[in-house]
């Protein structure tokens, strides 16, 4: 893979899968625009990207909250101002909240959908004219929860199913213009998301232990493993792949209880 001179915008680049994706793209010479709210973390990730390959530019950092419409406009416009073009958009920022139909509420639905779906809808809408110019590509970070149903994370499941539908629809709409659109659907991946979603250390340790049974490959995934799939889908190596939702989940999507 070669991303020399390709401009790649990654949301949620301050942590977990987004951070690993930024570092992975930087090994292939990409010019990176990284966004998130935690500027200190973004700077640490940017430093790692800078050091990943000789001659790499330091990534361009754009602080912002993707649930804020003005911030999303600013993320896209400053990326274009800095680099003059966009080749790859990675819609990765996301949040997880727990709630069943009995314990959820519309505020939870709005919080989860605003970050996981609405922001992607808005940023993609703004980015598409530039992606058409470069015949670029989009990779959305969905989840195994988008293609399978798990109890207790209702709004999250629904948000990821909506994201997969967005992937397919936009792929159909832009295929004729040379823009490819795909999703990755990770299984349990070791990042901050579960603790941020409410698990304490003990619950998280149990959850990771259980992941050995819930994933065919007998373990949870690492962020780098998802990053490699994202870079592949964004690259010319995937030149005939569009509208796909690619599980990166140690086989979890194929499992059924028995």
Q: What residues are labeled active site?
A: 156
Q: Is 206 in the site for ligand NDP (CB under 6 A)?
A: no
Residue 127, helix vs strand vs coil: helix
Is the Cβ of residue 2 or residue 39 nearer to ligand NDP in the bound state?
A: 39
Report the distance separating Cα 63 and Cα 53, nearest Å: 24
At closest approach, how far in Å is the CB of 178 from ligand NDP? 26
Q: 182, 191, 214, 242: which one contacts ligand NDP (CB under 6 A)?
A: 191
Is the Cβ of residue 18 or residue 136 nearer to ligand NDP in the bound state?
A: 18
Task: List helix spans (H) across the chain.
Answer: 16-27, 39-52, 69-83, 106-113, 119-134, 144-147, 154-174, 193-196, 201-214, 223-234
Is the Cβ of residue 95 or residue 174 nearer to ligand NDP in the bound state?
A: 95
Q: Is 94 in the site for ligand NDP (CB under 6 A)?
A: yes
Pair of tokens at residue 165: 């539908």
Q: Is 65 in the site for ligand NDP (CB under 6 A)?
A: yes
| Angle (nearest 5°) at CA 143 between 28 and 98 | 130
Report the distance separating Cα 115 and Cα 197, nearest Å: 14
Q: Which of 4, 50, 14 is nearest to 35 (CA)?
A: 14
Strand partners, 246: 184
At closest approach, how far in Å is the CB of 256 from ligand NDP? 19
| Count, residues near ligand NDP per rule CB under 6 A | 27
Q: Which range touches ligand NDP (CB under 6 A), out of 22-30, 32-40, 79-87, 130-138?
A: 32-40
Q: Is 183 in the site for ligand NDP (CB under 6 A)?
A: no
Q: 193, 227, 229, 246: which one contacts ligand NDP (CB under 6 A)?
A: 193
Residues from 98 through 127 that contact ligand NDP (CB under 6 A): 115
Burial class (CB in 10 A: 0-12, 13-18, 19+), 16: buried
Residues in contact with ligand NDP by the rule CB under 6 A: 12, 14-18, 36-38, 41, 65-67, 92-95, 115, 141, 143, 186, 188-189, 191-193, 196
């Amino acid at each position: 893979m070669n991303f020399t001179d390709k401009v790649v915008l990654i949301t949620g680049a301050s942590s977990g899968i987004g951070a690993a994706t930024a570092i992975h793209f930087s090994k292939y010479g990409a010019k990176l625009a990284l966004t998130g709210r935690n500027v200190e973390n973004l700077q640490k990730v940017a430093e790692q990207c800078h050091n990943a390959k000789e001659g790499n530019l330091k990534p361009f950092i754009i602080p912002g909250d993707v649930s804020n419409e003005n911030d999303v406009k600013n993320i896209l416009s400053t990326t274009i101002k800095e680099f003059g073009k966009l080749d790859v958009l990675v819609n990765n920022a996301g949040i997880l909240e727990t709630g069943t139909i009995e314990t959820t509420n519309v505020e939870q639905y709005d919080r989860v959908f605003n970050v996981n779906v609405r922001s992607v809808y808005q940023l993609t809408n703004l980015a598409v004219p530039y992606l058409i110019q470069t015949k670029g590509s989009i990779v959305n970070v969905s989840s195994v929860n988008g293609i399978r149903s798990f109890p207790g994370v209702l709004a999250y499941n629904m948000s990821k199913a909506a994201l997969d539908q967005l992937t397919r629809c936009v792929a159909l709409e832009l295929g004729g213009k040379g823009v490819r659109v795909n999703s990755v659907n990770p299984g349990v991946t070791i990042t901050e998301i579960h603790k941020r979603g409410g698990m304490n250390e003990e619950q998280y340790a149990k959850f990771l232990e259980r992941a050995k049974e819930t994933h065919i490959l007998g373990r949870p995934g690492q962020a780098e493993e998802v990053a490699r799939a994202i870079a592949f889908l964004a690259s010319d190596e995937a030149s005939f792949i569009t509208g796909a939702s690619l599980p990166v989940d140690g086989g979890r999507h194929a499992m059924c209880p028995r």
